[in-house]
């Protein structure tokens, strides 16, 4: 199984309206292909509360938008579905044998996070290149390559947890853990730091959180 991330410049249509004109952040949670090359998106838009009504009105007026349904958006967070006749990259992904993990869009551009086996991702990239769609391959990796905790890190983190190292206030400090494990405090600090980083990274990957300036 592979993961690829495709980046493009400012998107067109309703996404450009939301992110360009209104400065919103948009996330496409899922996409599917319908008859006549219509694409349906499940989306989440975050915008200032006073901009919700004009934003939705402008999106509905877009010539490529066929229909749109939204849930309660009083808080400034708009969730719903939209059908459009123009979303070239999303359409090709929806037609492919790949899975669309997420799409995040802001004023700087869009990122599509896609998963699939080697053949499926290779075929999708070939189709996008043949159609001369403007995109950049930002990331391509095997999911098996993701670094996991070593047995030593797991052992130390578990012991730290059981002894109350992560509680507030702490029930045990580095000196107590060092005495318990027989590991020097400096080495223990490094093991804990690296182990915690991996756990945090795994959490954000599983939640599909993406730093705007860095791909995890």
pLDDT, position 58: 95
pLDDT, position 72: 66
pLDDT, position 214: 43
Per-residue pLDDT for the chain (216 aa), expressed as one digit of tens each? Answer: 788 989 887 666 888 899 888 988 888 878 888 888 888 988 888 888 999 999 999 999 999 899 999 986 777 889 899 998 876 787 888 888 888 877 777 777 788 888 888 899 999 999 989 888 888 898 888 866 555 566 777 888 888 888 888 888 888 888 888 888 878 887 888 888 888 877 876 766 655 544 444 444
pLDDT, position 213: 43
pLDDT, position 121: 92
Secondary structure of the chain in HEC code, one letter for each residue: CEEEEEEECCCCHHHHHHHHHCCCEEEEEEEEEEHHHEEEEEEEEECCHHHHHHHHHHHHHCCCEEEEEECCCCCCEEEEEEEECCCHHHHHHHHCCCEEEEEEEECCEEEEEEEECHHHHHHHHHHHHHCCCCCEEEEEEEHHHCCCCCHHHHHHHHHHHHCCCCCCCCCCCHHHHHHHHCCCHHHHHHHHHHHHHHHHHHHHHHCCCCECCECC
pLDDT, position 203: 67
């Amino acid at each position: 199984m592979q993961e690829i991330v495709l980046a493009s410049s400012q998107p067109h249509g309703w996404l450009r309206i939301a992110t360009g004109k209104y400065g919103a952040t948009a996330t496409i949670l899922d996409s599917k292909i319908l008859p006549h090359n219509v694409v349906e998106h499940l989306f989440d838009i975050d915008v200032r509360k006073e901009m919700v009504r004009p934003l939705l009105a402008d999106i509905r007026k877009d010539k490529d938008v066929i229909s749109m349904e939204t849930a309660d958006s009083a808080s400034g967070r708009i969730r719903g579905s939209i059908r459009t006749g123009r979303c070239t990259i999303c359409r090709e992904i929806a037609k492919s044998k790949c899975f669309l993990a997420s799409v995040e869009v802001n004023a700087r551009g869009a990122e599509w996070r896609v998963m699939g086996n080697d053949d499926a991702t290779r075929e999708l990239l070939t189709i996008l290149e043949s159609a001369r769609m403007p995109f950049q391959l930002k990331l391509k990796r095997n999911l098996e390559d993701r670094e996991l905790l070593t047995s030593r890190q797991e052992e130390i983190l578990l012991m730290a947890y059981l002894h109350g190292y992560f509680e507030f206030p702490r029930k045990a400090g580095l000196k107590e853990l060092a005495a318990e494990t027989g590991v020097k405090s400096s080495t223990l600090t490094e093991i804990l730091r690296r182990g915690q980083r991996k756990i945090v990274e795994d959490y954000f990957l599983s939640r599909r959180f993406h730093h705007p300036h860095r791909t995890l």
